Amino acid sequence: MSTEPTLGQHLVAMVTPMTPDGRVSRTDVERLVDHLVDGGCDGIVVAGTTGEAPTLTREEVSALIATVASRTKGAARVIAGVGNNVTADSIAAAREAAAAGADGLLLVTPYYSRPSQAGLVEHCTAVAGATDVPVLLYDVPVRTGTALTPASLARLAELPTVVGIKDAKGDLVESMTLARATGLDHYCGSDELNLPHLAAGAVGLVSVVANLAPRLTGRLIDAVRAGRLDEARSINAELMPLALGLMRPGPGAATAKAALTAAGIISSAAVRLPMVEEPLPHAVKIWLSASHSPAA
Q: Is 166 tagged catalytic? A: yes
CA distances in angstroms from 86 to 21, 96, 124, 144, listed in the order given = 29, 15, 11, 13
Contact 81, 49 (CB under 8 A): yes
| H runs (alpha helix) in the chain | 26-38, 58-72, 87-100, 117-128, 141-144, 150-156, 172-182, 194-199, 214-225, 229-247, 252-262, 282-289
Contact 291, 255 (CB under 8 A): no
Contact 279, 250 (CB under 8 A): no
Q: Which of 73, 111, 166, 285 is catalytic?
A: 166
Q: Which of 111, 138, 169, 187 is catalytic?
A: 138
Question: Residue-wise over 121-148: b if at least 16 C-beta within 10 A, else e?
Answer: bebbbebbebbebbbbbbbbbeebebbb
Burial class (CB in 10 A: 0-12, 13-18, 19+), 160: exposed
Catalytic residues: 138, 166
